[in-house]
Amino acid sequence: MTNNSKNIAIIGAGPGGYVAAIRAAQLGADVTLIEKSLLGGTCTNLGCIPTKAMLNSVETILKMRKAEQLGIKILKDKIDFSLFMKKKDSVVEKSRKGIEFLLKKNGVNLIYGKGELLSKNLIKVTIANGEERIQADNIILATGSSPFKLRIFDFEQPTILTSDNLMVLDEPPDSMVIVGGGVVACELAMVFHLLGTDITVIEMLPNLLPLQDKRQSRYIERSFKKEGIKFLTNSKVEGVKEYGEDFAILSVEGKDDVKAKKVVVCIGRTPNSRDLGLENLNIEMDRGFVKVNNKMETNIPGIYAVGDLIGGKMLAHVASAQGEIVAENIMGHEAIFDDRMIPITIYTHPQVSSIGLTPDQAKENGYEISLGNFPFSASGKANAIDESEGFIQIVADKNSGEILGAQMVGPDVSELIHLVAFAMQSELLIKDLSEMIASHPTLSEAVVEAALSCIGRPLHTIKL
């Protein structure tokens, strides 16, 4: 460590913490990373990575259903759940080892233990055989979040689960009720439905994916109906009427009771801010979340927080971006966090992606908008791969041409959304996006077509 270097300690090695550690080390800091459980946090071990591995496997089932239309006859289609989960576990382990390798190569000191703030420059770490004291010039809090547990459910009962528990099931249940109709709920509904589980999703708001554009919600509801996934909207679970050894019966306000082998509660997440020593420093909080400015600094100079711990858009890539910003700021660079440019993807079938403002939000913000639309049914590539369900919608300022946002449903929109994200981050105008030349046939052409529609000169659709 040189005389000019910083000594940084980070509590939590999820996508916010480990990225902050790597970036700070690259900038010359002496970094200690503290993790009480597994490298990678929820994202790597119980969230993003395992669920996407599972989704990749079950999407093979969807392709097999269409095989005969393509002249391919599948003779054996039984799912071996143990192999299915073994594949998921191997992907998770590979991701963890990758993180460990990067930390080591960047010279980050990794300590496994529970960190607690004692002062603005001192952390107590409880380890397997005692405790350590870590001195630091700066401290980054990146402890993440946990599934929110509704009090009306007894989580000691084996029939009541969180999304975390689903990642370690021995076999898919015959039936499952998912309480909540948001991102995690809809992804899990799709996975376990394709594994043969009878699914019922219960959402108290009027639509599934209630935080997304209404057009996107309607597509997913239509997809669920087509797949035979049952869902109840405008429906509130009042409580559990009966717990059995292998079932639970839920009471739903104004509707019939719902019975299932397993009940999964997916109604959001709560920050891991307890037992962190925040009260020792009087760090400002808001409903359990740590308050920070746009440089990710708390009210205590030198102490920062990132990721789910601070609320907002609780996404892994948000935490990672914030981790980089913190490292830059601590090491003397200027960086701020702007949440307007964050792409969001939901890995249902079809996929759902969005960025920026919806048409309604743009109007509420006083914009006069231009709206461009292109259906995948008009895409040569989408039809060629038999994935023509969905659309791309782009919102722009009618006067300036500024791209305000985009909403997508369809094949590989988790990748396509980044064309619009890059354009927005580069401050390109909608005309610039419309002039991009995309290979033919590709799905990327649909983004250009939506941009052309937005400026009033669609090529492969009719202007409405």
Active site amino acids: 440
**Taking a C-beta distance cutoff of 8 angstroms, is the pair 421, 101 a contact?**
no
Whole-angstrom CA distances from 434 to 205, 424, 444, 462 are 37, 13, 12, 16
Tell how far CA 461 is from the center of its chain. 33
> In the numeric block, which tokens belong to residue 304?
């920062």
Instruction: Please state, in angstroms and rounded to a whole number, the distance separating the CA atoms of residues 88 and 24.
Output: 31
Residue 2 CB-half CA count within 13 A: 6
- Cα Rg of the chain, angstroms: 24
3-state secondary structure of 399: coil
* Token pair of 258 as six digits: 């719902």
CA distance 289 to 271: 6
The Cα–Cα gap between 61 and 140 comes to 43
On whether the CB atoms of residues 339 and 319 are closer than 8 A, the answer is no
Contact by Cβ (8 Å): 215, 207: no
> What secondary structure letter does DSSP report for 175?
E
Within 13 Å, how many C-alpha atoms sit on residue 139's CB side? 28
The helix or strand, by DSSP H or E, that contains position 42, with its residue range, turns out to be: helix 41-45
Q: Are 293 and 131 in contact (CB under 8 A)?
A: no
